[in-house]
Structure 1
Amino acid sequence: MELQGICHKMHAGLKDHSVTDEQVHKANVEYKFILDRSEIELPFRLGQEIEIEWTGNIYCVSCGSKTPKSYSQGHCFKCFKTKASCDMCIMKPETCHYHLGTCREEEFARSVCFQPHVVYLANSSGLKVGITRIRQMPTRWLDQGATQALPIMKVGSRRLSGQLEIMFGSQIADKTDWRKLLKGEAEPVDLIATRDQLIEEFAPKIRTIREEFNQNLEFNETLELMEQERPREFIYPVEQYPEKIKSHNLDKTPVIRGKLFGIKGQYLILDTGVINIRKYTGYELIIRTE
């Protein structure tokens, strides 16, 4: 089989939902490959030999123009410099500057930054804190390869969620160690106990942040504790983890081959190395299978 098209990050979803006990939801993760913005069933299966070739072409995911280099996961330089979706506040939401009147795109702010967000705890390569739009659950957790996740707060804006992430980040990591992620399953964490401890420890700061953001009358920047939420657990399609982590780079080696051992986060795990599919958003790829 051979497929060709412009690559986008894989779509991760839940294959099934099951409650293993009264406290935990557990589900299997499944993936779909996306070429030319069309979801397709994975053109390969675990244990199969696959080949991925980059044609040398890159197309901007925003304007569609051909670009010699990809910026901010699939943008040409012009879009990278002008689009609000490429602004620093996407990576660091606490730096949102809409309230200062300097946002690049009013509509983007209303459709993204002032939508309900959640602050969550997750366990990918270890315990971490993160944020995401509420409609991005569980996609955000699956993209990060989390084996456990628990929403702990619901808030009314991206900047507010960023402030809380920074606060909790003084105690908990806010990054995933991708090498640890691909070496095996993280040790289980008691997310409920961690949540309760954090809420108690940071109660005075949470009240201060809530009071500050409640003064914004234009948008409903509320803060709500999600005390009734239960942890989620996710099982990824991985048959074998590598002993050593070697990362494939299509910019240096445009053709890679290997037997597929698993998929976790946005990584394909091959016997020859791992490849982050999301990194190659906008790249024109040819996928071949035996």
Structure 2
Amino acid sequence: MQYQGVCHKMHTDLMSSDSASNPSKQQVQYRFILDEAVIDTPLALGQEVELTWTGNIYCVSCGKKTPKSYSQGHCFKCFKTKAACDMCIMKPETCHYHVGTCREESFAQSVCFQPHIVYLANSSALKVGITRLGQMPTRWLDQGATQALPIMQVGSRRLSGKLEVMFGEQVADKTDWRKLLKGEASSLNLETVRDELLNEFEPKIAEIRDEFAQKSDFEEGITILNQENMREFAYPVNVYPEKVKSHNLDKTPTVRGKLQGIKGQYLLLDTGVINIRKYTGYELIVRVV
């Protein structure tokens, strides 16, 4: 079978566990997206898959053809003007809406001033992260987390970023993608970690709460989520690579191999791994045998 269209990140669904030993662990299922539509046949482990980049890239914001992709699928003009491409998306604590220099008012209202979650996750190891309330559990699955636990809910992206930086003094905020693709991280008791971090950082949390209460025109309170239960996820992987080799469509436009697993936004082929999200906006031809 053959499909052609503009690539977008894979969508995820969660199914009930089929494990008698851990019935609470949910199974992750993936759907490959071309032209924002699910391809007719989902990818299945054991299939021979071929991905070919046609050489075309289309901006995911304005739809225009672009010679190069910026910030995961944008043309240069949109990269320089869209709030979704601003540095504060990568570093939320640098949000500058309050000083009047936000690129898009509508984006701020629909994204930045929505409830956000500060969470702990276990992908390659323990990490702290943030996401909009409505993006759970998608954010965790995109990162390949096998365990996740919300620990705070706040009223803005900037506030969540401040708390993430604070916890970053003790906990990493990045995932080691090579370790992620070599196997599952050792299980952690995230509830215990949560309680220890909230106790250790209680004075600093109070300081940040007071700072935002005094200076913000928005409701940006902090709610401690100390009654949440940890969630666990299992990914469709038959074989993890012993050595991680990454495919690059910009250098080698055609990639082929037997699908051995999917984790995060990576396809694990017997010839190497490929990050599908990296090629958002690329026009691909997908052949499945």
Give me the TM-score of the superposition, normalised by structure 1. 0.97
Cα distance in 2, alignment partners of residues 151 and 158 from structure 1? 15
Deviations 1:216-240 (A, max 9, x none): 4531101000011000000000000
Deviation at 1:18, TM superposition (A): 8.7
Deviations 1:36-93 (A, max 9, x none): 0112355431011110000000000000000000000000000000000000000000
Deviation at 1:214, TM superposition (A): 1.3
Cα distance in 1, alignment partners of residues 24 and 156 from structure 2? 27
Deviations 1:8-56 (A, max 9, x none): 00011212369989x9942000111111011235543101111000000
Cα distance in 1, alignment partners of residues 248 and 174 from structure 2? 22
Aligned equivalent of 2:179? 180
Aligned equivalent of 1:11? 11
Q: Which runs of 5+ in 1 are unaligned?
A: none
Aligned equivalent of 2:107? 108
What percentage of aligned pairs have identical amino acids? 72
The residue type equivalent to 1:235 in the other structure is A
Aligned equivalent of 2:153? 154
Cα distance in 2, alignment partners of residues 71 and 174 from structure 1? 23
Indicate conservation of the 8 Å contact 1:25/1:231, yes or no.
Answer: no
What SS does the corresponding residue of 2:214 show, helix, strand or coil? Answer: coil
- The structure 1 segments of at least 4 consecutive aligned residues displaced by more than 6 Å after TM superposition are 17-21
RMSD: 1.7
Cα distance in 2, alignment partners of residues 114 and 253 from structure 1? 41
What SS does the corresponding residue of 1:215 show, helix, strand or coil? Answer: helix
Deviation at 1:155, TM superposition (A): 0.3
Q: Does 1:283 align with 2:282?
A: yes
Deviation at 1:201, TM superposition (A): 0.3
Aligned equivalent of 2:53? 54
Aligned equivalent of 1:264? 263
Cα distance in 2, alignment partners of residues 137 and 194 from structure 1? 20
Aligned equivalent of 1:237? 236
Deviation at 1:149, TM superposition (A): 0.2
Distance 1:171 1:103, change over 3 A: same
Indicate conservation of the 8 Å contact 1:24/1:233, yes or no.
Answer: no
Aligned equivalent of 2:221? 222
Q: What are the within-5 Å matches in structure 2 for residues 204-223 of structure 1?
A: 204-216=203-215, 218-223=217-222
What SS does the corresponding residue of 2:245 show, helix, strand or coil? Answer: coil
Moved more, 134-143 or 208-217: 208-217
Cα distance in 2, alignment partners of residues 191 and 43 from structure 1? 33
Distance 1:20 1:101, change over 3 A: farther
Give me the TM-score of the superposition, normalised by structure 2. 0.97
What SS does the corresponding residue of 2:236 show, helix, strand or coil? Answer: coil
Cα distance in 2, alignment partners of residues 24 and 114 from structure 1? 36
Cα distance in 1, alignment partners of residues 212 and 8 from structure 2? 36
Cα distance in 2, alignment partners of residues 161 and 223 from structure 1? 9
Cα distance in 1, alignment partners of residues 29 and 79 from structure 2? 31
Distance 1:40 1:60, change over 3 A: same
Cα distance in 2, alignment partners of residues 284 and 168 from structure 1? 39
Indicate conservation of the 8 Å contact 1:20/1:26, yes or no.
Answer: no
Cα distance in 2, alignment partners of residues 19 and 215 from structure 1? 50
Distance 1:69 1:192, change over 3 A: same
Indicate conservation of the 8 Å contact 1:116/1:133, yes or no.
Answer: yes
Distance 1:71 1:267, change over 3 A: same
Cα distance in 1, alignment partners of residues 38 and 226 from structure 2? 36
What SS does the corresponding residue of 1:196 show, helix, strand or coil? Answer: helix
Moved more, 8-17 or 252-261: 8-17
Moved more, 211-220 or 200-209: 211-220
Indicate conservation of the 8 Å contact 1:248/1:275, yes or no.
Answer: yes
The residue type equivalent to 2:102 in the other structure is C
Q: Which runs of 5+ in 2 are unaligned?
A: none
